[in-house]
Amino acid sequence: MIRQQGRFFHLCDGAISYILEILDDGTPGHVYFGAAMADLELEDLEYMARRCGKSTGTVKAIAGTSFSLADQMLEYPVYGTTSFLEPALAMEQEGMPLYLRLAYTGFEIRDGKEKSMPGPQTRPDPKAQSLILHLADRDAQVEVDLSYTIYMQGATVVRSAKITNLANCPRNLTHAASGVLNVRDTGWNWIHLNGSWARERQIVEQALVPGTAVIESLTGASSHQCNPWNALVKSPDSPASCQGDNNLAYGCNLVYSSNFKAQADINEFGLLRVMEGIHPLTFGWTLQPLASFQTPEMLLFCSIEGLDGLSRVSSRFLRDHLINPNFVYKRRPVCLNSWEAVYFTLNEQNLLELAREAAKCGIDCFVVDDGWFGHRDLDNSSLGDWYPDQKKFPSGLDAFARQIRSLGMQFGLWFEPEMISEDSELYGKHPQWAVKPPAGQYSVGRSQLVLDFSCPEVVEYIFRQMCQVIESTKLSYIKWDMNRSITEAYSQYLAQEKEGQKEFFYRYIYGVYALYEKLTEAYPDVLIEGCAAGGGRFDPGILYYSPQIWTSDNTDAFDRLKIQCATSLAYPLSTLSNHISQFPSHQTGRTFTSEFQKDVALFGIFGYELNLIEDHRFSPADLTGQIGQYRQMEPAILHGDFYHLASPFASNEPAVALYWDGKRPQSAPKTASNSHQVLSKQEQAFVGFYQTLSSLHSIYRPALPLPFLADGQYLIQPLQAQSSMQLHLDLEEENPGKQTSDSQSARNMEPEVIRGQLLRHDGLRKPVKNNGSNRNVAQFIGDFQAMIMELKKIG
């Protein structure tokens, strides 16, 4: 509910309150963001806004007063004012800065959320409410609307800004951030996700000190290096830790998949703000008379349950209000992807052999990865030529796809729609469609160039090509890859249209969104999995269309523990695509038991990237059993809450838990497409225990409290898929020497019934080695051990 009270606006969604005020000069200022406070009166708000003036020594915004913007928490700072931090908004006219004094002129409270711009954004919802604050500088003839949307119990504020040029000459936008998160107090740590190819999203925690800390991408994607998600948590040893709200945590994210900048500034008065938006270095926008520019949305999350609580706030919010609703709560196909099995050596024959094996194991979808089109025998040709390679598919790709379907599986294909190889027919016909300067040197990544998606004709051309393949093969799944960063960002199309080259990155990504939009509209049942050389474009913009994203090219289960832990701080488990892949790991050469790989991959959307013909570790029964386990966990993966119990960044014995109370989230529509085969009405919990390196001297911590459990009795046993249990027994009879750790665990660990209260406060016992004395507890001996325990409420 949103209320205006005097100069205050109070947004309350039942979980959080967000309060802002109109300051003396008409600038919107920030008052409060935290736990919900219902029914605040005007005098309460006046009390909350009361502060000690700190403006001595500053330049005053209003002559003859002590009023300065320097010591205020500003909702949307503007260049050239008495606030000296980097602005959210800066504009120029004929190369000269415009010194804007934007002042409040009115407001609207709108019921419901509507689609307010092209591209990804939080979803329409009749129960949402939006506050639009109208600001204007009448002399400069510029209007700005700040919009704030809340969704009931979302614990999230969605911000964006719309800037309109009312003058009769063009103006240039040089900075247009999406919003600012203002925080009171000192002693905050900034958490963000930093990485590289095959090492995406490692957790970085830095103490914030006066000055500016920045995370950013300039690669043309949200990037492997930084992710737009970031969070603020109280530093445990800061003076702030005596203030009683140590579990307050804030998070930010941006619904945008290209160059972004997020900066955390602490000014001389100790005021902290995080500003986030399109990266101003690679942005410029010409606003013609009466034209508007609307920024992408910034998501501001708040939790009073610390960082882990924040991860659940952001996951629920993304699921309920952003991710493609056709799939978000829908059972996902378990895929076998051909990449690590055959790479570019694929052909009709070896793929069919693989597919026949896959079908025996209960795989749902057979995905042909890179190499099926043009004459692509290596990564140096054919991107842009999206027609099947006759040599590899002499009977035709459509006939091949029919064979896959006749085996009872769906058919899926890899595309890299945004790229062009110089060795391609498309480049021969349209060299001007490649992004590169008209003369001089240009960079090449993976032997390929980027297609100019700022040009609508290019987007339409690729769409038509993809439609032909989609329709002829009747595919059900697309893996949409993007394997190189954008350099020398010159568009011949923009030059020809006399648009500024600084508009390129924004127009490019909206071209990508346009193709996504066309495909998802034309083929709403085709699941598109996002990918960018692994997880180089894992962000809310892509999740709006793609319900799942290939988390990383690094499928080494040890490394994946960290990558998945960090990714799941920001994104729901149902968006992480995890595969069991080749052995030893093709990325690191490390070896694991297949159970360790599986128990890591099961916390996400499960699949395979295996050569089933050559890999003798698995029988079809093993795979059927694993898929059975996934199906048991899947309702909780799609609907439930994820808990990071012990971090792989800090512990040799990481642990995670997944909990679903068995109720469908209110916002999940009960349509057939959302129905889940094994939709459980029962509470479900799964706890994953891992021991990475065996250590005699690990810190002894025998149990992990499970804070989400209710009172009552819980049956605890190692996860075993019902459909697979019998298969395991059969297997052991046939081959008594071969033991899977599931069967080993099952022997070592009898089911137990334990009270919820005890598990909640004292904890679930860990299956770790304990001097061999604890009967009934499965023992972890050696490196890379794992076990998933299932908890069922039985009374």
Tokens standing for residue 516: 């996504």
The CA-CA-CA angle for residues 655, 653, 619, to 5°, reads 75
Distance CA 474, CA 398 (A): 8
Q: How far is the CB of 481 from ligand DGJ (least distance, A)?
A: 5
User: Beta partners for 83?
Assistant: none
Catalytic member of 423, 553, 559, 622:
553
Give the CA count within 13 Å in the CB-facing half-sphere of 391: 9
Catalytic member of 481, 539, 556, 599:
481
Which sign does the torsion angle of CA 675, 680, 681, 686 carry?
A: negative
Q: How far is the CB of 591 from ligand DGJ (least distance, A)?
A: 21
Distance CA 170, CA 164 (A): 11
DSSP 766: P
Distance CA 510, CA 255 (A): 12
Is 553 labeled as catalytic in the residue annotation?
Answer: yes
Q: How far is the CB of 634 from ligand DGJ (least distance, A)?
A: 22
Q: How far is the CB of 427 from ligand DGJ (least distance, A)?
A: 18
User: Please, are residues 109 and 150 in contact by the beta-carbon 8 Å criterion?
Assistant: no
Alpha-carbon torsion, ordered 267, 270, 274, 89, to 10 deg: -40
Smaller CB separation from ligand DGJ, 217 or 483:
483
Smaller CB separation from ligand DGJ, 260 or 415:
415
Is 481 labeled as catalytic in the residue annotation?
Answer: yes
Q: Where are the alpha helices (DSSP H) in 322-387?
A: 339-342, 348-361
Smaller CB separation from ligand DGJ, 530 or 767:
530
Q: How many helices (H) and strands (E) does the chain have?
A: 16, 39
Q: How far is the CB of 552 from ligand DGJ (least distance, A)?
A: 8
Smaller CB separation from ligand DGJ, 333 or 534:
534
Work out the burial of residue 344: count CB atoms within 10 Å of its CB; fewer than 13 is exposed, 13-18 middle, 19 or more buried.
middle
Q: How far is the CB of 527 from ligand DGJ (least distance, A)?
A: 16
The residues, ordered by sequence, that sit 6+ positions from 685 with a Cβ below 8 Å of its Cβ are 636, 657, 658, 659, 660, 706, 708, 709, 714, 790, 791
Checking DSSP bridges between strand 28-35 and strand 16-22, what pairing results, if any? Answer: antiparallel
Question: What φ, ψ does residue 558 adopt, rounded to 5°?
Answer: -65, -50
Q: How far is the CB of 536 from ligand DGJ (least distance, A)?
A: 8
Residue ranges in contact with ligand DGJ by CB under 6 A: 339, 369-370, 414, 481, 483, 531, 533-534, 550, 553
Smaller CB separation from ligand DGJ, 414 or 714:
414
Question: What φ, ψ does residue 686 adopt, rounded to 5°?
Answer: -130, 130
Smaller CB separation from ligand DGJ, 120 or 534:
534
Smaller CB separation from ligand DGJ, 323 or 335:
335
Residue 289, preceding peptide bond in cis (omega within 30° of 0): no
CA-closest candidate to residue 785, choices 755, 741, 723, 728: 741
Q: How far is the CB of 346 from ligand DGJ (least distance, A)?
A: 11
Q: How far is the CB of 531 from ligand DGJ (least distance, A)?
A: 5
Smaller CB separation from ligand DGJ, 480 or 643:
480
- 3-state SS record for 134-165: EEEECCCCEEEEEEEEECCCCCEEEEEEEEEE
**Biggest distance spanned by C-alpha atoms of the chain:** 92
Question: What φ, ψ does residue 768 adopt, rounded to 5°?
Answer: -100, 160
Q: How far is the CB of 389 from ligand DGJ (least distance, A)?
A: 15
Q: How far is the CB of 343 from ligand DGJ (least distance, A)?
A: 8
Element (H, E) at 529: strand 527-530
Smaller CB separation from ligand DGJ, 609 or 622:
609
CA-closest candidate to residue 92, choices 83, 79, 102: 79
Distance CA 156, CA 12 (A): 10
Smaller CB separation from ligand DGJ, 156 or 338:
338
Distance CA 89, CA 325 (A): 33
CA-closest candidate to residue 201, choices 230, 219, 227, 221: 227
User: Please, are residues 344 and 388 in contact by the beta-carbon 8 Å criterion?
Assistant: no
Q: How far is the CB of 4 from ligand DGJ (least distance, A)?
A: 49
Closest residue to ligand DGJ, based on beta-carbon distance = 370
Element (H, E) at 599: helix 594-601
Q: How far is the CB of 339 from ligand DGJ (least distance, A)?
A: 5
Which sign does the torsion angle of CA 20, 21, 27, 32 carry?
A: negative
Which sign does the torsion angle of CA 485, 490, 496, 499 carry?
A: positive
Distance CA 58, CA 4 (A): 31
Say how many Å lie between the first and final Cα of the chain, rounded: 38
CA-closest candidate to residue 252, choices 297, 215, 206, 300: 300
CA-closest candidate to residue 507, choices 292, 277, 256: 256
Element (H, E) at 35: strand 28-35
Distances in Å between the alpha carbon of 656 and those of 306, 561, 610, 706? 16, 10, 26, 10
Smaller CB separation from ligand DGJ, 71 or 481:
481
Smaller CB separation from ligand DGJ, 445 or 620:
445
User: Please, are residues 294 and 117 in contact by the beta-carbon 8 Å criterion?
Assistant: yes
Tokens standing for residue 212: 């500016």
CA-closest candidate to residue 608, choices 352, 338, 328: 338
Smaller CB separation from ligand DGJ, 412 or 640:
412
For the annotated catalytic residues, the residue numbers are 481, 553
